[in-house]
Chains A and B, each alone.
Chain A
Amino acid sequence: MSDLKKIRDEFISKLKGKLDLAELNQIKSDLFGKNGLVSSQFKKIATIDVSERKKFASDLNIIKDELHDLINLKINEIEKANINEKLEKEKIDVTLPERSFVRGKIHPVSQTIDEISSIFSEIGFSVEEGPDVENEYNNFTALNTPDNHPARDMHDTFYLDEKKERLLRTHTSPVQVRTMLKDKPPFKIIAPGRTYRSDSDQTHSPMFHQVEGLHIDKNINMGHLKGCLNYFIKEFFEVKKIKMRFRPSHFPFTEPSAEVDIGYEIKDGKIIIGEGDQWLEILGCGMVHPNVLKNVKVDSTKFQGYAFGIGIDRLAMLKYGINDLRAFFDCDYRWLNHFGFDPLDVPTNYRGLSR
């Protein structure tokens, strides 16, 4: 029996026994280490007679592979068994609670403002802003509501001085005045923001939100106003059809003026917008009064257009089923959590306004 065969048989039988990882590695080193049994046989190849050399080399390689594979197989088996044993010990109760994550929310009024801006953005309106503190001129006089006009009674105004020259704006309409004084026509803007009236009860809050709209260009008529609002209301309430009516009214800064009602009905205690035979007033609007255009130095023989004012809080209440206006400003954690929106829910045109 050649040396090779001897080595093979000896180690095959050794490997059949129960060995641990260290023993296996020892065998591996005995065979294939620098001076291992198999390694030294390879060194011998050069000294063997040429006629036998080829056969010897071939046999050696076969034995080497055979032993090598067998050792690796054994090592793998043990490692696998080790992991399985470990896994058995590492089982954990996955029903335990996860690490806490605190979610922030966006206030429904902010969300509604973003929805409104998104809708009007589509039809070319840009957003303007104005200060919360206004002078008497911008809030009233420039808007064709001179001092001592009974229409001023409709606005319970907060004043900041005894002379009543500085006040908290009672509507967003002064932004119209500021915008038109600052730039040249055409104008196509919306102006959302805080507004104030010294009124406080179940349905009135001393602070609330309005969005003003203004579109001044050549040949803009009341039909455009109707079309614009019809589009807005449909988009905002995300309905295909809307029942809407214009009712004559009076605002000093628009003429003709209208109040706009939308149709609704109550189904199972929930309000359904756009259907039914009940009417709900949601906004005021009209054609900008020539006196206002004169006050802001716009030539009313060349330019004309419409303006509107919408209560944002009220829109939010209608859309999201909120009953109490006062709760908007009460900062009750539970309310904010319930009615607030995920900050990732940015109203956009392509994803839709709301989920």
Chain B
Amino acid sequence: MKITFDWLKDHLKTNLKEKNLLEQLTYIGLEVESVESLSSDNQLFKIAKIIKTEKHPNADRLKVCDVNVGEKELKKVVCGAANASEGLITIYAPPGAIIPKTNTKLEIAKIRGVTSYGMLCSESELNLSDESDGITELSKKYEKNIGKSYFSKSKSNLIDLSITPNRPDCLGVKGIARDLAASGFGKLIVSKEKKIKLKTKQTLKVKINKEKGQGCNAFGSCLIKNVKNTESPQWLKDKLISVGQKPISAIVDITNYVMLDINRPLHAYDADKIEKGIIVRNSKSGEEFTALDNKIYKLEKGMCVISDNKGVLGLGGIIGGTRSGTEFDTKNILLESAYFDPRSIRNTAKKLNLDTDAKFRFERGIDPLSIETGLKKAASLIQEICGGEVSKIDIQKIESYKTKIINFDVNSFENIIGFKISEKKIQRILTDLGFIIKKEKNSLKLIVPSWRPDISQQIDIIEELVRISGYDKIKTIDPIKDRSKSTLTQTQRLFHFLQRAIASKGYLETITWSFTDQSYNDHFREAGKEIKIVNPISSELGVLRNSIFSNLIMYMSKNLDRGFKDLSIFEIGPVFTGSNPGEQKTVVCGLSAGKKSRLSWIDKERNIDLFDAKRDVVQTLSEAGYNSDHFFIDSKTPNYYHPGKSGRIFLDLSKDKVAAYFGEIHPNILKKIDIKTENLIGFEIFLENLKLSRKTLKDQKLKFFVSDFQKSERDFAFVVNKDVEAQELISVISNVNPNLISNIKVFDVYEGENIPDNQKSIAISITIQSSEKTLNDKDLEKINNSIIEAVENKTGAKIRS
């Protein structure tokens, strides 16, 4: 909502300064978004006429225009607008002028070799409207003003307020003045209605169809005959321009003025273009009309339209149509002042993707009792400026406004806000805001002003009182440092632990978007459901991610392109399995590229490999409290991993849920994505699949047992078939005698000379120690034999002699 202090003063008596005003507006919840100075520089913008246009010698789309700016010589201006044509009256900005929209200063510039002295401006560049298609077109009436400043001198700055959606009453200058006055900033001026003679009858019949979903409750109108539509007088033009509106003609300007002044949208029809009468009804499917924005709208069933016998004239409360629009030669007008249901307005505007000043106001709720006031205010101005006879006012209604009453418990204020205000002050504030108060025994009976659709219960009154009293009066009550519940749950603690455990292993934490590129996602989706976003920000961010890999690989690739070669990154966050709330899993996903010890003078460089990732995963899990001796690992992994160089980890032999995957990313994916690195290794840890220990650390710590008897290390080499996994041997050995066998370590794997083709040799070092005695040679011999026997029997291995 754009206002000026000058306009406010039509409704507010005050000697205070603009600086105080800006503070006070924010203080009572009417936030000042920006303050623009229109006064100093806008005098430079001149009304001008294009005398001649020529095609630019070096650019097809540009024209070189000779422009009359009221000086002896014509100005040469280069212009790219399609509508720049000979004879057009428009607005010229000379070098030195500051373009309001971009805040840039114009300079004499060579454009493709032709010097341009200034610029011809579009409405959008002047902040007059959003119209940026072509330069401003002024009517012929401006011809006599060529060379004069387009903007009149204004002392007042343009103040842009951000009005919250609950306050439609402040979409009119008067409403803002009322709030200010209630808060002690000046006094509200109660303007008397101008007496206007209403003699003739309103002869144009208006009917609101009573049908389901009728979006119009009341339709007020009056006929004004024999008007002479003209250009608005200077005061009116200045007023509109001062808040960034473009004057059009007196009738349109007056309706806009009334809307901005008292938040009462009106619409003026050329009465002679209406066939017989007005019917307010629901639209039929497929009905069409051309709106005042010169677009043709095809309507769906059930939209509230103003129509006549011939068809749709306009969309009620949103936009009028060209067929019945007023022009300079309009003689008789019908002025409409209606009440439209906010929901209906919003539905229709949303479906048609239409936004207008009227729509913005009606969807928030217009004062239903302002129909007559608005008509009279506008009619008297029209009569004053354009002449004519005004008919009596006709109001058709299908629903009456019901007064809202709230019983207000005075003590409730302190209970919610924490400080007290006197009943006297409460009454004063509410009266100033337009409430009518009846004092009852224990409460105040409040009649809510008709312009406040946001107020319906006690809490709304409390808000008004504290807003006007001042939020600075709310006391600061210090919090008590007391905790009755632990801050994090066990799962949340595990989340934070894993996050920092992975980071401590050389991975940089990233946060990437929960959505991703469908083509990347498909590489990692497997049988997962594709979850599309209906209205994505771009097609590359069109689906929710089924895996974190898609984003990590994308960003890994970008970093490699930046010239970094050896990187480890990870993210902990959601992946999605469905489009219902809760169909998501928390995954820790890591990705490493490149080499270890690249260009090292001391260590041998090598490609990063899956055992690096495996170490990080196993180490992280065991740091988190899971015993890696119990892990079960196999090689069944999703298809996006290299089938032979990847594995999955279960926390124990029950193989209940996959705790993690690790391995090389499938070479096909690297090829498709065209990522340039020596090797790409990833892992995924599934937070929800990690069983939470029922034992606390405190309980676990009680067990501490070590043996001080001598331990022996024995080395074995087994020859086994190639498909036998090391894990199998280890598992067999550890089961031979768990009391004696404590540490099993694979220290060599060998294939080749002296070993049959389809076999390999696995060398294992085993620590043997008893908790009861020092083992003698005989004991050791016995356990050695048991180990060899068990391994040979269960895995088909042969001890290498």
Contacts and interface: CB of A to CB of B under 8 A. Distances in A.
B533 A160 contact: yes
A127 B213 CA distance: 45
Contact of B559 (A120, A231, A332): A332
Contact of A100 (B472, B479, B511, B600): B600
A149 interface: yes
Interface in A223-268: 223-224, 226-228, 230-231, 245-250, 252, 255-259
Contact of B511 (A105, A120, A223, A329): A329
Contacts of B504: 104, 343-344
Contacts of B506: 101-104
B29 A226 contact: no
Interface in A112-169: 114, 117, 120-127, 129, 131-135, 138, 148-151, 153-154, 158-162, 164, 166, 168
B534 interface: yes
Interface stretch (B146-154, B285-293, B535-543, B781-789): B535-543
Interface stretch (A3-11, A13-21, A192-200): A192-200
B460 interface: yes
Interface stretch (B2-10, B50-58, B569-577): B569-577
Contact of B555 (A103, A219, A231, A331): A331
Interface string A165-176: 010100000000
B477 A224 contact: yes
B655 to A, nearest CB: 28
A206 interface: yes
Nearest to B454: A250
B484 A124 contact: yes
A353 interface: no
A319 B496 CA distance: 22
Contact of A148 (B342, B485, B581): B342
Given A126-B485, A247-B26, A333 B509 contact: no
A148 B474 contact: no
Interface in B550-593: 555, 558-559, 562, 564, 566-570, 573-574, 576, 579-584
A304 B570 CA distance: 42
A318 interface: no
A331 B512 contact: yes
A131 B29 contact: no
Given A131-B584, A221-B416, A249 B508 contact: no
Contacts of B559: 331-333
B508 A290 contact: no
B564 to A, nearest CB: 5
Interface in B95-124: none
A194 to B, nearest CB: 6
A148 B580 contact: no
Given A219-B415, A329-B512, A132 B29 contact: no
A160 B531 contact: yes
Nearest to B478: A227
Contact of B580 (A126, A166, A258, A259): A166
Interface in B67-82: none
B480 A114 contact: no
Contacts of A256: 416-417, 459, 462-463, 466-467
Interface string A337-355: 1001001101000000000
Interface stretch (B132-140, B486-494, B712-720, B790-798): B486-494
B165 A343 contact: no
Given A129-B492, A150-B364, A160 B532 contact: yes
B674 interface: no
A135 B581 CA distance: 7
The B interface is mostly helix, strand or loop, or mixed, namely: loop
Given A159-B534, A329-B512, A346 B471 contact: no
A250 B30 CA distance: 10
A287 interface: yes
B418 interface: yes
B507 interface: yes
B500 A227 contact: no
Contacts of A346: 500
Contacts of A34: none
Contact of A107 (B509, B566, B584): B509
Contacts of A198: 535-537
B346 interface: yes
A132 B514 contact: yes
On chain B, which size bracket covers the interface?
Answer: 35 or more
A221 B510 CA distance: 39
A250 B167 contact: yes
A300 to B, nearest CB: 9
Nearest to B578: A133
A247 B533 contact: no
A106 interface: yes
A247 B500 contact: no
Contacts of B488: 117, 126-127
A287 B416 contact: yes
Nearest to B168: A150
A228 B479 contact: yes
Nearest to A159: B534
Interface in B669-725: none
Contacts of A161: 534, 579
A313 B480 CA distance: 27
Contact of B471 (A120, A206, A246, A344): A246
Given A198-B535, A250-B29, A226 B581 contact: no
Contacts of B531: 160
B511 to A, nearest CB: 5
B757 interface: no
Nearest to A130: B581
Contact of B165 (A97, A149, A245): A149
B433 to A, nearest CB: 14
Contacts of B191: none
A336 B580 contact: no
Interface in B15-43: 26-29, 31
A155 to B, nearest CB: 12
B475 interface: yes
Given A104-B504, A222-B474, A248 B28 contact: yes
A255 B512 CA distance: 35
A248 B479 CA distance: 22
Contacts of B502: 104
B541 A206 contact: yes
Given A131-B584, A206-B541, A196 B514 contact: yes
A343 B535 contact: no
Q: Which of A104, A105, A149, A330 has most chain B Cβ within 10 Å? A: A104
Given A250-B166, A255-B460, A124 B476 contact: no
B503 interface: yes
A295 interface: no
Contacts of A343: 499-501, 503-504
Given A104-B506, A107-B511, A247-B471, A194 B418 contact: no
Nearest to A304: B416
27 contacts: A97-B602, A99-B603, A104-B504, A123-B479, A123-B481, A125-B487, A134-B581, A158-B515, A160-B579, A161-B534, A198-B536, A222-B416, A245-B472, A247-B29, A248-B28, A249-B31, A256-B417, A256-B463, A256-B466, A287-B459, A328-B511, A331-B512, A331-B558, A331-B569, A336-B509, A337-B508, A346-B500
**Which 6 pairs from chain A and chain B are nearest by CB?**
A248-B29, A223-B418, A250-B164, A102-B506, A331-B555, A221-B418
Interface of A: 96-97, 99-107, 109-110, 114, 117, 120-127, 129, 131-135, 138, 148-151, 153-154, 158-162, 164, 166, 168, 188, 194, 196, 198, 200, 206-207, 219, 221-224, 226-228, 230-231, 245-250, 252, 255-259, 287, 289-290, 304, 328-334, 336-337, 340, 343-344, 346
Given A131-B584, A252-B166, A330-B555, 16 more contacts: A97-B601, A101-B506, A102-B566, A129-B492, A132-B574, A148-B347, A154-B165, A166-B581, A222-B417, A222-B418, A223-B474, A223-B476, A250-B29, A256-B416, A290-B457, A333-B562
